[in-house]
Amino acid sequence: MKYQSQSIAKLYFIAAIGLFVGQILFGVVMGLQYVMGDFLFPYIPFNVARMVHTNLLIVWLLFGFMGASYYLVPEEAERELYAPWLAKLMFWIFLVAGAATILGYLLVPYAELAKLTMNDLLPTMGREFLEQPTITKIGIVIVALSFLFNVGMTVLTGRKTVVTIVLLTGLTGLAVFFLFAFYNPVNIVLDKYFWWWVVHLWVEGVWELIMGAILAFVLIKITGVDREVIEKWLYIIIALTLISGIIGTGHHYFWIGAPGYWQWFGSIFSALEPIPFFVMTLFAFNMVNKRRREHPNKVATLWALGTAVMAFLGAGVWGFLHTLAPVNYYTHGTQITAAHGHMAFYGAYVMIVLTIISYSMPIMRGRTANGPKAQVMEMWSFWLMTVSMVFITLFLTGAGILQVYLQRYSDTPLGFMVVQDKIELFYWMREVSGVIFLIGLILYIMSFFVKHDDEVTA
């Protein structure tokens, strides 16, 4: 570690992993509720478990992105962080606000939480992924702005690299588009139309810039390939991302009241969205093949290659499967969507955060890489989590195909709950895969506690 203030990332990463565990526990609860409908009812109804599951995901990924930024920005900018104290303060504010919000979901009925937090003053609650009380949303804005200020000042007063500029662009976009979370008109079409400016332009826009920047940084470090080469790839990837992804927002505008021309714009541009992910896969494998050094942190390389492949499969391939309007007409809002969501988030965002953690955590703990035992254990966790996520996706896809046929496509369409009963077997298999994912995650955490007497000091 070149700069002292990089170590702030450690706090963020530990919190991220802790919240990750919570996310998966609630995922397993929801999976069980799919097959045992009364599980934990009425104490933790499905909607509460889902809120906790998705909100924890978002919060821990944000912790991950912030930690990644605090780690890589000083190193790239070749100076200490502008205000380390601010980074620490914001960490605690974000953690306390996040924990209080999750406890709020769990301990009081949601309508009560809305009352307690005075949602009526500026109603923003009760929309998917943006369920947080308005006060929490304001907190997120404050944290995001302080974070941007801190990182931005470090970048602007230090060495500017393509990696940091792209990262900063992505983070700025993240903060700006979040502001649409405060726009909540009664008109449902306007509500939905601009809700996607947060959700789509995050995950299929600016977050990909953040992912690209982090991946580029890790590849520079572990492969030793010339920065010029890596930066060119990075520009190509993010150019393709935004060229396809911005108008690609249209694939959410097919059936929510927007004009019919979105079926053309959305289909054509979102059909191009797999391309940047494919280029990212080529990029990662090319750089590793052309590596100029043998970095002792093998498992970080595995994560870097893994995230590129899984993002392509989850976001690219599984996204394309149902993105064309004539197909989406039947698949919209079914388990196909859930299948895509799971593998895309895992492949692109969970794995990129685990990549930077895998690379930087050993360094922050005073060694270039973990010893072989810890690395092998982490590799096992990589495969357990990744393969079980592939199976979660396949089972949900199977459930989704049957659901689409029975409920929407056949000559005698059946009711929603009738169909749900018929596809129960797939939900059981998804739940088993989910438990294996949890085992992989436990192994992942255990890998941090392997004794380091056999550590590599290359």
Partner 1 sequence: MKETFTKGMARNIYYGGSLFFLLLFFALSFDTVSELPDRDNRQAINESVTLGKKVWEVNNCIGCHTLLGEGAYFAPELGNVVKRYGSKAAVKAFIMSRPKDGVPGRRSMPQFNLSEEELQGVADFLEYVGGVNTENWPPNIQG
Asked if 366 touches partner 1 (CB under 8 A), the answer is no
* Phi and psi at residue 3, to the nearest 5°: -125, 140
Residues 322-361 interacting with partner 1 (rule: CB under 8 A): 329-330, 332-335, 337-338
Is residue 435 a contact residue for partner 1 (CB under 8 A)? no
Q: Which of 100, 116, 122, 255 binds partner 1 (CB under 8 A)?
A: 255
Pairwise CA distance, residues 66 & 72, whole Å: 10
Contact pick of 176, 256, 309, 439 for partner 1 (by CB under 8 A): 256
**What is the smallest separation between the CB atom of 34 and partner 1, expressed in angstroms?**
7
Asked if residue 186 binds partner 1 (CB under 8 A), the reply is yes
Q: Pick from 173, 165, 155: which is nearest to 80 by CA?
A: 155
> Residue 121 interacts with partner 1 (CB under 8 A)?
no
How many chain residues are in contact with partner 1, going by CB under 8 A? Answer: 75
Q: Interaction with partner 1 in 221-250: which residues (CB under 8 A)?
A: 228, 231-232, 235-236, 238-239, 242-243, 246-247, 249-250
Q: Which of 397, 407, 433, 447 binds partner 1 (CB under 8 A)?
A: 407
Q: Which of 122, 182, 143, 119 is nearest to 65 (CA)?
A: 143
138 vs 387, which CB is nearer to partner 1?
A: 138
Binders of partner 1 among residues 18 to 47 (CB under 8 A) are: 33-34, 36-38, 41-42, 45-47
DSSP string, 205-262: IIHHHHHHHHHHHHHHHHH---HHHHHHHHHHHHHHHHHHHHHHGGGGSSSSSS-TTH
Q: Is 429 in the site for partner 1 (CB under 8 A)?
A: no
Please report how close the Cβ of residue 89 comes to partner 1 at its closest, in angstroms.
32
Asked whether position 318 contacts partner 1 by CB under 8 A, the answer is: no
Q: How far apart are CA 251 and CA 145, in angstroms?
A: 30
Instruction: Report CA torsion sign: 328, 334, 340, 341.
Output: positive
Q: Which residues, numbered 257-286, are part of the site for partner 1 (CB under 8 A)?
A: 257-263, 265
Q: Which residue, 358, 385, 381, is CA-closest to 369? A: 358
Of 127 and 452, CB closest to partner 1? 127
Give every CB contact of residue 197 below 8 A, 6+ residues apart in sequence: 177, 180, 249
Binder among 28, 83, 183, 192 for partner 1 (CB under 8 A): 192
Instruction: Return d(Cα 66, Cα 63) in angstroms, integer.
Output: 5
14 binds partner 1 (CB under 8 A): no
Asked if the peptide bond before residue 84 counts as cis, ω within 30 degrees of 0, the response is: no
> By CB under 8 A, is residue 193 in contact with partner 1?
yes
111 binds partner 1 (CB under 8 A): yes
**In one letter, which amino acid is 361?**
M
Judge whether 336 and 408 are in contact, CB under 8 Å.
no
- Residue whose CB is less far from partner 1, 249 or 355: 249
